[in-house]
Amino acid sequence: MDSGDVAALGAGRQPDTVTSANASVSIPTAAAPSRYPWQLVGLLWMVAFLNNADRAVIVAVMPQLRTEFQLTATQLALISSVFFWIYAIAAFLSGRLGDTGRRSRIVIAGLAFWSIATGVASLSTGFVMFIALRAMVALGESTYYPAATALISDWHSRKLRSRALSLHQTGVFAGAGLGAFAAGLMADRFGWRIPFVVFGLAGLALGLVLIKLLRDAPQSRAATASPAKASDKSSLRLVLGQRAALYLCVVFFLSNGAAVGLTVWAPTYVHDVIGLNLGASALYGSASINLAGFLSVPFGGLLADWLAERSAIGRFYALIVGLSIAALFLLPFALARTAMMVGAVLLCSTLGKGVFDGCIYAAMHDIVPPRARATAVGLMTMLGFFGAGLMPLVIARSAVYFGMAAGLASLAVLYFMAVGILLATRGITHAAVLETRQIEAGT
Domain with residue 281: its CATH number is 1.20.1250.20
* Full residue range of the structural domain in which residue 383 is found: 34-214+226-441
For residue 47, CA distances in Å to 40, 108, 149, 171, 197 come to 11, 9, 12, 8, 17
Counting residues of the chain whose pLDDT is more than 90, the rounded percentage is: 38
User: Domain for residue 23, yes or no?
Assistant: no
**Which ranges in 70-102 belong to alpha helices (H)?**
73-98
Residues 381 and 357: beta-carbon distance below 8 Å: no
Beta bridge partners of 26: 17
Residue 29: what pLDDT?
37
According to DSSP, the residues that pair with 16 across neighbouring strands are: 27
* Residue 8 φ then ψ, to 5°: -70, 130
Task: Specify if 16 maps to a domain.
Answer: no
Asked if residue 293 belongs to a domain, the reply is: yes
Q: Would you say residue 221 lies in a domain?
A: no
Tens of pLDDT along 92-131? 888 777 777 788 999 999 999 999 999 999 999 899 999 9
Q: Which of 120, 119, 114 is nearest to 139 (CA)?
A: 114
**Is there a domain that residue 395 lies in?**
yes
The CA angle 101-105-110, to the nearest 5 degrees, is: 105
Cα angle at 383 between 367 and 393, to 5 degrees? 150
- 22 in a structural domain: no
Which of 220, 239, 238 is CA-nearest to residue 376? 239
Alpha-carbon span 136 to 250, nearest angstrom = 26
Split into its structural domains, the chain has a count of 1
Orientation of helix 314-330 relative to helix 412-424, angle to 10°: 160
Q: What is the pLDDT of residue 176?
A: 81
CA 268/CA 274 separation, integer angstroms: 9
pLDDT digits 0-9 by tens, 268-311:
888 887 887 777 777 777 778 878 888 898 999 899 989 999 99
CB 87 within 8 A of CB 210: no
Residues of the chain predicted below pLDDT 70: 1-33, 219-233, 442-443
pLDDT at 219: 62
pTM summary value = 0.71
Q: How far apart, in Å, do the first and last CA atoms of the chain sit?
A: 26
Helices (H), 309-372: 314-330, 339-357, 360-367
| pLDDT for residue 88 | 85
Handedness of CA 375, 379, 380, 381 (dihedral sign): positive
Asked if residue 367 is part of any domain, the answer here is: yes
Cβ atoms of residues 36 and 6 within 8 Å: yes
What is the SS3 assignment for 71? coil
Answer yes or no: is 2 within a domain. no
Angle at CA of residue 361, ends 357 and 364, nearest 5°: 130
Identity at 19, one-letter amino acid code: T
